[in-house]
């Protein structure tokens, strides 16, 4: 047998196998908890043109002013290249942090000091930093049931116990939250934070009702549980009244996470966290330890874009586009779905959550959906237990209206057959 340190003998495959076996014992316990996202699993399928993919929640970027962005990027290199290509502050540029305050003011979060903002590599990185700063293995975090798969994977990687809290069509149920906290406390749980996506939840599309927001915040304050408010879709409301984020009224208890991914472009990988002053230093240092600083060039490009382009108009364009796609999907669902299938009617965001009769496992329908030419994400992906689920997520953001209709039309008989069986 060849040794990994000694000279290699045997076939290349044998050597590779032995090397992998020897290295296995070197992995951390954490590495065993790092999972592939179910969304990423089916991502490849969205590239097959014969399939209609209602799986991925990609933003639709065709309406972006690419010429203008290209000119801005070129100017940036030519005129400010030495700064744009250099390391910067670990918390992000002062200019962009000030502009982020203006962006958040649109949603009713006012009076934020830019020095409470940490710019991150997408808001995904802010979730990771929050776990790093607050969670020891075995700690508990609370979340909506269902919730964002990317956050579940982050929690899992930090070896925390993730407790889903019941929701209904108005979002997280305050009484269920209170009751679960009491049960968990009785069980000795160390609860660190509630992770919530109050607007147009991924995957459910549901929005937390205004009157529940303060009720939930008060429960968390009384129980000394922080709130991690994840709001990447908040500005993409296309119907109904805007509801203030929890951060607006509870600045000392909420870590708020925002992102340019859905209001501009995800490839820039720029998000942010607003962190209460008393925890800011630790949060910022943890962020800095991972990335040194967020991408300077991308931050400066976004600053130029916010100064030199009608960004509010761009968001309005996105809203109109997604509103039309959401309507197309709802119309198709109304027309084609069997009666025993129900679904949410989102007021914004990218997703519709479909519920089949109990006892059907949507994971088992995935292959049948693909055979019929349509892809979706099975509901189990959005639960920390991975338990079989009779629900599934449809995304309408990246698909033109006619294709959405075709996708739903292909999906309906697959669901009808499963119900009839």
Positions in the binding site for ligand PMP (CB under 6 A): 57, 122-124, 148, 150, 197, 202, 230, 232, 259, 261, 266, 271
Q: How far is the CB of 125 from ligand PMP (least distance, A)?
A: 7
- Closest separation in Å from C-beta 200 to ligand PMP: 9
> Which residue's CB is nearer to ligand PMP, number 206 or number 418?
206
Spatial CA neighbour of 128 closest among 250, 32, 29, 255? 255
Distance CA(203)–CA(413), nearest Å, equals: 23
- If the CB atoms of residues 148 and 284 are measured against ligand PMP, the closer one turns out to be 148
Q: Which is nearer to ligand PMP, 90 or 122 (CB)?
A: 122
- What minimum distance in Å lies between the beta carbon of 357 and ligand PMP? 28
| Residue whose CB is nearest to ligand PMP in the complex, by number | 122
| Long-range CB contacts (within 8 A, 24+) of 76-85 | 76/297, 76/300, 76/301, 76/304, 80/300, 83/296, 83/300, 84/296, 84/297, 84/300, 84/301, 85/296, 85/297
Q: Which is nearer to ligand PMP, 264 or 354 (CB)?
A: 264
The tokens for 296 are: 């300077």
Question: What distance in Å separates the CA atoms of residue 114 and residue 384, rounded to the nearest whole number?
Answer: 34
User: CB 371 → ligand PMP: shortest distance, Å?
Assistant: 27
Q: Identify the CA nearest to 5 among candidates 26, 16, 24, 19.
A: 19
Q: How far apart (Å, rounded) are the C-alpha atoms in residues 365 and 419?
A: 11
Smallest distance, ligand PMP to C-beta of residue 259, A: 3
| Nearest of 283, 31, 290, 275 to residue 133 by alpha carbon | 283
Q: What minimum distance in Å lies between the beta carbon of 258 and ligand PMP?
A: 8
Pair 297, 76: CB distance under 8 Å = yes
From the number of C-beta atoms within 10 Å of its C-beta (0-12, 13-18, 19+), residue 392 rates as buried
Q: How far is the CB of 326 from ligand PMP (least distance, A)?
A: 16
Q: Is the Cβ of residue 259 or residue 410 nearer to ligand PMP in the bound state?
A: 259
CA distance 389 to 353: 12
Cα–Cα distance for residue pair 314/264, rounded to 1 Å: 8
Residue closer to ligand PMP (CB basis): 201 or 372: 201
Closest CA to 60 of 331, 396, 375: 396
Q: Which lies closer to ligand PMP via its Cβ, residue 139 or residue 229?
A: 229
CB of 107: closest distance to ligand PMP in angstroms?
A: 15
């Amino acid at each position: 047998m060849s040794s990994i340190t000694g000279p290699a003998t045997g076939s290349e495959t044998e050597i590779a196998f032995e090397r992998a076996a020897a290295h296995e014992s070197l992995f951390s316990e954490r590495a065993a908890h790092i999972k592939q996202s179910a969304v990423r699993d089916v991502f490849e399928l969205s590239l097959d043109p014969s399939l209609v993919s209602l799986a991925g929640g990609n933003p639709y970027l065709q309406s972006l002013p690419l010429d203008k962005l290209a000119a801005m990027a070129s100017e940036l290199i030519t005129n400010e290249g030495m700064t744009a290509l250099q390391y910067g502050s670990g918390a992000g540029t002062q200019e962009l942090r000030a502009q982020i305050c203006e962006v958040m003011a649109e949603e009713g979060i006012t009076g934020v000091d830019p020095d409470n903002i940490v710019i991150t590599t997408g808001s995904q990185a802010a979730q990771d930093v929050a776990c790093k700063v607050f969670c020891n293995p075995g700690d508990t975090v609370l979340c909506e049931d269902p919730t964002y798969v990317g956050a579940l994977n982050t929690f899992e990687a930090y070896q925390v116990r993730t407790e889903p809290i019941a929701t209904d069509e108005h979002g997280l149920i305050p009484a269920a939250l209170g009751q679960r906290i009491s049960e968990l406390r009785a069980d000795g749980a160390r609860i660190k934070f509630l992770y919530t996506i109050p607007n147009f939840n991924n995957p459910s599309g549901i929005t937390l009702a205004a009157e529940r927001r303060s009720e939930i915040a008060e429960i968390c304050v009384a129980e000394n549980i922080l709130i991690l408010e994840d709001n990447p879709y908040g500005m993409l409301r296309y119907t109904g009244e805007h509801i203030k984020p929890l951060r607006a009224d509870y600045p000392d208890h909420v870590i708020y996470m925002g992102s340019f991914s859905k209001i501009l472009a995800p490839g820039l990988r720029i998000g942010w966290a607003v962190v209460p002053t008393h925890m800011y230093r630790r949060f910022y240092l943890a962020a800095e330890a991972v990335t040194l600083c967020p991408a300077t060039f991308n931050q400066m490009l976004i600053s130029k874009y916010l100064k030199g382009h009608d960004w509010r108009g761009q968001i309005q364009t996105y809203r109109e586009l997604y509103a039309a796609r959401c309507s197309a999907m709802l119309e198709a669902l109304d027309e084609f779905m069997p009666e025993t299938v129900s679904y949410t009617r989102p007021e914004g965001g990218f997703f519709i959550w479909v519920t089949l009769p109990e006892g059907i496992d949507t994971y088992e329908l995935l292959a049948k959906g693909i055979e019929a030419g349509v892809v979706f994400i099975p509901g189990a992906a959005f639960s920390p237990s991975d338990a079989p689920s009779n629900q599934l997520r449809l995304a309408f953001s990246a698909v033109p209206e006619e294709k959405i209709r075709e996708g739903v039309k292909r999906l309906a008989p697959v669901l009808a057959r499963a119900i009839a069986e």
